[in-house]
Chain A
Amino acid sequence: MRVGIPQTLTYFEFYPLYCTFFRELGFEVVTSGETTKPVMDQGILYTVTDSCIPIKLMHGHVAELAKTCDAIFVPRFVRITGEEFETFCPKFLGLPDMLNASIPKLPLLISPKVDLYRWPRLGLLKLAQAVGDQLGKKGLGVYRALVKALRVQTEFRRLVSQGLLPPEAIAVVNKYWQEGDSLVSPVEAEMVRPEAKIRGVEAHPITLGVVGFPYTLYDNFINSSLLNKLCSLGVKTYTPEMVSPAKLAEQAKGLPKPMFWYFSNRVYRAARYLLVNKKIDGLIHVTAFGCGPDAMADKLIELEAKQHGFPFMSLCIDEHTGEAGLNTRLEAFVDMLQLRKGEQSEHNLSAHGQFV
């Protein structure tokens, strides 16, 4: 039996867990691959016009998998943190319902409800059991698969915390599965890949915070390789995934009550962390066209950047973001920061004798 995993939304967050769990249960695991034009077109076809671009892409990926898979894993994400009112966006909550109503001839949809608010460990066990039941797997094997999956997921998190972007860390996991290597050894080698070098070296004129959802930041099709482009402009970037969970949690104090959306809270807190601690020269918020939570978070981040005195740019990603237009905007923003920084340093040198 072949289980399909859409390569979008929570893929960039939990794919190592999904993949390991199903493989350990003895299933073949395939992904829908990177977003492509046909995938996007299919997604647009199957969703209502008013929907946001990430949900459209999700429909496209699921439709792609429906062609070849016996089952598709689309968990219904409700809560995964200890915050009572931090759920996922309503479209995540209703995702399996939307898919069922919109895409004809779907294979088995594995869509357990993920609510880990009260009893995270027990919840995970039950979740594994529910998925196992649906696929006819019982007994200890399911728990063993879960334990292994959690271990690989922890390794993946460690790689990300060392500065790998999620897609890069996922590549390490995939290599592990293909070559049977241990998960640890290739990591240090991976760390010296060229992008990491550029990203890590101090000789960058500009450091930018680039905040957004993992599924917009790391989907190179939909954002026209935004991060690579910044990299080639010689910009060092920080994304929310590079800020440790503890540091993110500290920033919750920026709002009288947290937002209701897991990913948006992370984006806002990462932005605030970077601004408050002056880690960056400027901030880019990558928003998704039609995304409801983004409309709120974007305004909050904009006001936050203004208050802390940092240049801010909001970049909206949609189904026809032209590459040319994006390049122009990025280059202009980076140029502006460079000029500003030049002026500032001269000014600072003469006036105060030190950098900010």
Chain B
Amino acid sequence: MNITFPRMGNSYNAFAHFINRLGHKAVVPPPLSDRTLSLGVKHAPEFACIPFKIILGSYLEAIEQGADIIITSGGSGPCRAGFYGILHERILRSLGYDIEVVVFDSIYQRPKDFFAKANRFRRAAGVSWPRFFYLIWEAWEMVKALDELERLSLDVRPREKSVGATTRALDQAYEIMAQAETNVDIQAARDKGLALLRGVPLQNKEYLLKIGIVGEIYVLIEPFANLNIQEMLGNLGVFCDRAIYLSGWTKENTVADHDAALRRTASPYVNQMIGGHGLENVAYAIRYQQQGFDGVVHLAPFACIPEIVVKSVFPRVTHELDFPVLDVFLDELTGKAGLQTRLEAFVDMLAFKRGKYQLGGVYT
């Protein structure tokens, strides 16, 4: 089987690793590009969100590379993402491609369905269940390692001496990771990557502005969708922290009753799970405020349903907590130059607020 999957952030390394180790052939979707986007925009409904369009375009490109089956995740709503797989399949078929989209819904909600689908890929590969689970675990280790590398890069970039050094080190670290086979290799690659990032020459900065990034998971994690906002902020000398990682970093590193705690934090503003990460994002923003961050950037796809609710309540959060939030709604027309201007102005504003404003000279 030539299997492809949605491309999101650095995770494609781990998915490809899992599929190849299983004995199938992974067709990694080509790096996302303007071509990907225009393919998606052409065939997707106008008011579908940008992740839907990018992923559709990316599937079409993977099919060109020989993919014949697509694996993706499902969901139970009410965010639209849980329904992507079904609609993607229907659109691809209406375009004449004989392709199947296998949607994995939550193992907790539909265990029978999950195992039936998993079994299909296991049997075709001829591996035992224990081996199958071992490989899943191994891939998960890689997801965690990749996220750890990315997290460290956010810390290093605002202090780097020469622009781009961190990005180069991170790309190199990903390359090393892509070569890894066994879990031992993965751990070694992780250590090497971390060392590379720690080796980036730094300059002394007495104060770094801190900005939290919250928002819809796909545009948060996939740099193509968010115009590389992490790098833009890092290059402006800002430390940024991202609320959501695929490996669920926040979940493991915060209190045990994670969901309940988030719900409590958000409850004065949003008092109901609204799908996606809507409620969570309100809570994350409030937490950033409590942790002394200077502001929050809120990323969402244009027409994203849960995030519109979030955007509607953020003015109240800003007002009551005196905590600036910059909403960035992304669609296929969003230009990098405009975003750059808004981010620079936001950073200036936060710096003024902090009283740390020294007209920093030339921004480049």
The chain A residues found within 8 Å of chain B, CB to CB, are 47-48, 50-52, 55, 76, 78, 84-85, 87-91, 93-94, 96-98, 100-102, 113, 255-257, 259-261, 290-296, 298-300, 303, 306
Contacts and interface: CB of A to CB of B under 8 A. Distances in A.
Contact of B305 (A47, A76, A90, A255): A90
B76 interface: yes
B309 A102 contact: no
A228 B234 CA distance: 58
A111 B315 CA distance: 21
Contact of A89 (B49, B305, B311, B329): B305
Contacts of A91: 305, 308-309
A157 to B, nearest CB: 25
Nearest to A304: B90
Contacts, number: 128
A78 B272 CA distance: 9
A295 B87 CA distance: 10
Contact of B83 (A94, A100, A260, A298): A260
B77 A50 contact: no
Given A90-B275, A90-B309, A299-B87, A294 B76 contact: no
A75 to B, nearest CB: 12
A50 B329 contact: yes
Given A101-B316, A290-B303, A300-B87, A87 B269 contact: no
A260 B77 contact: yes
Interface string B33-50: 000000000001111110
Given A48-B311, A97-B272, A295-B48, A90 B306 contact: yes
A313 to B, nearest CB: 15
A94 B47 contact: no
Interface residues of B, number: 44
A98 B276 contact: no
Interface in B65-123: 74, 76-80, 82-83, 86-87, 90-91, 94, 103, 105, 109
B313 interface: yes
B269 A97 contact: yes
A292 B272 contact: no
A73 to B, nearest CB: 17
Contacts of A100: 313, 316
B47 A292 contact: yes
Contact of B312 (A78, A101, A295): A101
Contacts of B47: 290-292, 294-295
B277 to A, nearest CB: 11
B76 A51 contact: no
Contacts of A101: 269, 312-313, 315-316
A296 B109 CA distance: 23
Contact of B313 (A97, A255, A293, A303): A97
B304 interface: yes
Given A90-B309, A93-B78, A295-B48, A300 B90 contact: yes
List 5 A-B pairs, minimum CB-CB distance, nearest first: A260-B77, A94-B309, A295-B47, A292-B305, A101-B316
A190 B79 CA distance: 42
A161 B49 CA distance: 36
B163 to A, nearest CB: 34
Contacts of A257: 74, 86, 105
B272 A113 contact: yes
B80 A98 contact: no
A78 B86 CA distance: 23
A45 B329 CA distance: 19
A311 to B, nearest CB: 17
B271 interface: yes
Nearest to B103: A256
B136 interface: no
Contacts of A299: 44-45, 48, 87, 90-91
Interface in B46-60: 46-49
Given A76-B272, A90-B276, A101-B269, A296 B312 contact: no
A87 B77 contact: yes
Contacts of A55: 308
A213 to B, nearest CB: 14
A65 to B, nearest CB: 19
